Chain A
Amino acid sequence: MYECDIAVIGGGPAGLAAAIEAKKHGAGKVLLIDRDIELGGILQQCVHNGFGLHIFREELTGTEYAERFIKELKDLGIEYKLDTMVLSITQEKVISMVNKTEGIVNIRARAVILAMGCRERTRGALNIPGTRPSGIFTAGTAQRFINKEGYMVGRNVVILGSGDIGMIMARRLTLEGARVRVVAEALPYPGGLVRNVVQCLNDFDIPLLLNHTIVDIKGKDRIEGVIIAEVDENRKPIDGRARYYECDTLLLSVGLIPENELSKGIGVKLDPVTGGPVVNESMETTVKGIFACGNVVHVHDIVDYVTEESRKAGRSAALFVNEKGGEWGTPISTRPGNGIRYIVPHLIREDKVGHSVDLFMRVDKIFTDKKLVVKSGDTVIRVIKKAYMRPGEMERISIAADSLKAADNLPLTVDVE
């Protein structure tokens, strides 16, 4: 059987960064596998800018960001397979894949990095009532049609959900001459970044209706309109507060779901809140030698953090294949407390932390003038004042190795206080 040191599943920002970093840290044969016909993943359809501020200190488009990593990957001579679908991965790290030229190929890897990213939540998952006409797209699918293929998805558009891709598509469609009537958001705050509310919606006078959702879809062949209703705090439509909007297109930007079908097949433990694998400080899953990074672990707000996290996974995988990964021991677990939805990593091995470890988390609602308090048992380890926190943006807390030593192996909790 064909063998390699590290197999990276997925060639988007996570996979690219992980493969490059693994190679740089002494991994021998690294193989990256992607289902698309080119590297870069979703970045290749992100023609908008705003990428790279943390990593490169400059503002790049998604395509430019991808190109830098692709070039580095190729310069390092890392092998990759495109148009290749991974069918399954076993606990023994045998990867079964298929493509047109080689048929089914089985490869045994010494370590695997899962970097499959995420998929978009669909109309079906939301159970939006109404008919089932054409003209309903997830924002990402519309983005691909418009930016890569050059086709308009419609002329008269309503957008449900104020996720970043939805707002970015509102601007893209407007700039291409379509009319975006309204963006409806069921929550009392926008799902995406403030920057996108201003530059994608306000700049073009596109109304953002908070506390509103679609309660009916009309149209037999092609969508003809939607009914948007105001909702109460339990997201139930309020009687008499509904309005009909004629449209020929509905875009959905209602959330992303980590794509973990392969992970489930391996048997790694998943976090029910993130939908992604439970990982330790080295981005290793609960199956030894299987690492995960990027949106397959938890949905990130900006790609720079994906890159950082994936570099960590790449480094750890290289250490692992060079037998420096170390045993699991008894890790400290992290526990989301009041106001926190989840924390990544879930487990921390104190001796593997180095100088410090970053905890990534999301709050469960908007908070102003609060503190993020990290505790080990009853001992407060760190307190960070926060003027403003919102679920659309990830929070990051760095914990020094020293304070973990003092923590006495008790679970680490983070609360909003």
Chain B
Amino acid sequence: MEKSIVICTICPIGCSMEVIEDRSSDSGYLVKGNSCNRGIDYAIAEVTNPTRILTSTVRLNNAGLRRLPVRTDKPVPKNLMLACMKVINSVEVDTPIEIGTVIIENILSTGANVIASRTV
């Protein structure tokens, strides 16, 4: 039986939860150690498909600021973060840039765009 430990980030308590594979339950997992029900969904997501919003910067030309802050508009799989970084690192943009402008479309086919997180 596969077991994982997940620390919950929903609230400050930070429950340390045990997630065990359980074919008999609807979700396919049994969660132990949670203080509330919100923890269950979080824990299962962390075990099945952990994702994160990736925030970073890209090279920016012709501005006083040398880097433009960017982020993904949707969470991307956690294990692709470094791979996404390598793509982000190879991009250069010129001013002017509006906040929300798509800088990289559908990065690594994750379905997430990398967008500018400020106006320059």
Contact of A202 among B7, B71, B82 (CB under 8 A): B7
Listed residue (A59, A60, A387) with the most chain B CB atoms within 10 angstroms of its CB: A387
Report the count of interface residues on A (CB-CB < 8 A). 32
Q: Chain B, 28-56, contact with A by CB distance < 8 Å: what is the 0/1 string?
A: 00000001000000000000000011111
- List chain A residues, Cβ under 8 A from B65: 148
- List chain A residues, Cβ under 8 A from B57: 47, 147, 150
* Interface members, chain B 65-81 (any A CB < 8 Å): 65-67, 69-71, 78, 81
A387 B52 Cβ-Cβ under 8 A: no
Say whether A323 faces chain B, with CB atoms less than 8 Å apart: no
Known: A61-B55, A175-B56, A199-B52. Contact between A148 and B66, CB under 8 A? yes
Contact of B9 among A61, A148, A195 (CB under 8 A): A195
Report the count of interface residues on B (CB-CB < 8 A). 29
Contact of A61 among B67, B78, B82, B117 (CB under 8 A): B117
Say whether A327 faces chain B, with CB atoms less than 8 Å apart: no
Known: A61-B117, A63-B117, A149-B67. Contact between A393 and B85, CB under 8 A? no
* Interface members, chain A 168-212 (any B CB < 8 Å): 175-177, 193-195, 197-199, 202-203
Say whether A415 faces chain B, with CB atoms less than 8 Å apart: no
Say whether B99 faces chain A, with CB atoms less than 8 Å apart: yes
B12 A64 Cβ-Cβ under 8 A: no
* Interface members, chain A 139-179 (any B CB < 8 Å): 147-150, 175-177
Seen from chain A, the residues whose Cβ lies within 8 Å of a Cβ on chain B are: 37, 44, 47-49, 59-61, 63-64, 66-67, 147-150, 175-177, 193-195, 197-199, 202-203, 387-388, 390, 392-393
Seen from chain B, the residues whose Cβ lies within 8 Å of a Cβ on chain A are: 7-9, 12-14, 35, 52-57, 59, 64-67, 69-71, 78, 81-82, 85, 99, 117-119
